[in-house]
A and B are shown apart, each in its own frame.
Chain A
Amino acid sequence: MLKYLVKRLFEMIPTLLGITIISFFIIHLAPGKPTDVFSELNPKITPEARERLEKYYGLDKPVIVQYGLWLKRVVQFDFGESFSTDRRPVMQKIWDKKQPVTERKLFITFMLNLFEMVIIFLVAIPIGIFSATHRDSLYDRIATVSVFIGFAIPSFWLALLLMMLFGVYLDWLPVSGLKSMNYDSLSLGPKLLDRLRHLILPVFVASFGGLAGLSRYMRSSMLEVIRQDYVTVARAKGLPEKIVIYRHAFRNALLPLITLLGLSVPGLIGGSVIFENIFGIPGMGQLFYNGVMGRDYPLIMGILTIGAILTLIGNLLADIGYMLADPRIRAK
Chain B
Amino acid sequence: MKKILVVVLLMFFAVACKGKSSSLEQRVSGGADNEIAYGDAVVEGTIGEPTILIPMLASDSASHNVSGLIFNGLVKYDTDLSVIGDLAESWDISKDGLVITFHLRKGVKWADGVEFSADDVMFGYKTIIDEKTPSAYKEDFLQVKKAEVLDKYTFRVTYEKPFAPALTTWGSLIILPKHLLEGKDITKTEFARNPIGLGPYKLSKWVPDQELILESYKDYFEGRPYIDRYIYKRIPDPATMFLMLRTGEIDTMGLTPLQFTKQTETDYFRKNFNKYRYPAFQYTHMAFNLKHPFFKDKRVRQAIAHAIDKSELVDVVLFGLGSPATGPYVPNTWPYNPDVKKYEYNLEKARQLLKEAGWEYANGDGLLHKDGRPFKFTILTNTGNKLRENTATIIQWRLAKIGIKVEIRKLEWSTFVNQFIDKKRFEAVILGWSISLDPDQYDIWHSSKTREKELNFISFSNPEVDELLEKGRRTFDIEGRKKAYFRIQEILAEEVPYIFLYVPDATPIVSARIKGIKPSPIGISYNLPKWYVPKKLQRNTLEP
Interface residues of A (CB under 8 A from B): 30-33, 36-47, 49-50, 52-53, 56, 84-88, 93, 96, 99, 103, 105, 127, 142-143, 146, 150, 160-165, 167-171, 174-178, 181-182, 184-185, 208, 276-280, 282, 286-287, 295
Contact = CB atoms under 8 A, between A and B. Distances in A.
Given A53-B134, A169-B20, A85 B63 contact: yes
A88 B136 CA distance: 19
A58 B160 CA distance: 33
21 contacts: A38-B59, A38-B136, A41-B417, A44-B136, A44-B140, A46-B139, A47-B451, A52-B134, A56-B134, A85-B63, A86-B51, A96-B208, A143-B1, A163-B243, A168-B22, A175-B244, A175-B247, A177-B233, A282-B210, A287-B209, A295-B414
Interface in B1-33: 1-2, 4-5, 7, 10-11, 14-15, 19-20, 22-23
B207 A43 contact: no
Nearest to B436: A43
A103 B240 contact: no
Contact of A39 (B4, B136, B239): B136
A297 to B, nearest CB: 13
B540 A181 contact: yes
A86 B58 CA distance: 8
B371 interface: no
A183 to B, nearest CB: 9
B543 A105 contact: no
Contacts of A150: 4
Interface stretch (B185-193, B335-343, B351-359): B185-193
Given A46-B139, A161-B15, 17 more contacts: A33-B418, A36-B417, A37-B60, A40-B417, A40-B418, A44-B137, A85-B51, A85-B58, A87-B188, A99-B208, A160-B239, A162-B11, A163-B240, A163-B243, A165-B15, A168-B243, A171-B23
A99 B11 contact: no
A306 to B, nearest CB: 18
B418 A85 contact: no
Nearest to A182: B543
B19 A169 contact: yes
A258 to B, nearest CB: 27
Contacts of A85: 51-52, 57-60, 63
Contacts of B1: 127, 142-143, 146
Contacts of B193: 86, 88
Nearest to A36: B414
Q: Which 10 A-B pairs have the closest CB atoms?
A: A32-B414, A282-B209, A38-B59, A169-B19, A43-B443, A277-B236, A146-B1, A185-B543, A86-B51, A277-B237
Which interface residue of B5, B10, B414 has the most chain A CB atoms within 10 A?
Answer: B414
A165 B16 CA distance: 11
A286 B235 CA distance: 11
B206 to A, nearest CB: 10
Interface of B: 1-2, 4-5, 7, 10-11, 14-15, 19-20, 22-23, 43, 51-52, 57-60, 63, 131-132, 134, 136-140, 187-188, 192-193, 207-210, 231, 233-237, 239-240, 243-244, 246-247, 249, 413-415, 417-419, 421, 431, 436, 441, 443-444, 451, 453, 455, 540, 543-544
A169 B22 CA distance: 6
B444 A43 contact: yes
A43 to B, nearest CB: 4
A162 to B, nearest CB: 7
B192 A86 contact: yes
Nearest to B131: A52
A215 B491 CA distance: 69
Contact of B138 (A49, A162, A286): A49
Nearest to B442: A43
Contacts of A56: 132, 134
B240 A279 contact: yes
B15 A164 contact: yes
Contacts of B51: 84-86
A286 B210 CA distance: 12
Nearest to A273: B236
Contacts of B418: 31-33, 36, 40
Nearest to A103: B207
A142 B237 CA distance: 34
A51 to B, nearest CB: 11
Contacts of B187: 87
A39 B453 CA distance: 9
Contacts of A88: 193
A86 B59 CA distance: 10
A42 B455 CA distance: 8
Contacts of A160: 239-240, 243
Contact of B236 (A46, A86, A168, A286): A286
Contacts of B60: 37-38, 85
B43 A31 contact: no
Nearest to A81: B188
Contacts of A47: 451, 453
A175 B240 contact: yes
Contacts of B444: 43
Contacts of A86: 51-52, 192-193
Which interface residue of A39, A45, A276 has the most chain B CB atoms within 10 A?
Answer: A45
A278 to B, nearest CB: 5
Contacts of B63: 85
A127 B134 CA distance: 58
A278 B414 contact: no
A167 B243 contact: yes
A30 B4 CA distance: 43
Contact of B419 (A31, A46, A170, A286): A31
Contact of A99 (B10, B207, B544): B207
Contacts of A168: 19, 22, 243, 246-247
Given A85-B51, A99-B208, A282-B209, A42 B136 contact: yes
B544 A185 contact: yes
A278 B134 CA distance: 34
Given A86-B192, A185-B544, A164 B414 contact: no
A238 B83 CA distance: 95
Nearest to B455: A43
A50 B1 CA distance: 58
A165 B12 CA distance: 9
A163 B210 CA distance: 19
A182 B418 CA distance: 46
A96 B208 CA distance: 9
A96 B206 CA distance: 12
Which interface residue of B7, B10, B20, B51 has the most chain A CB atoms within 10 A?
Answer: B51
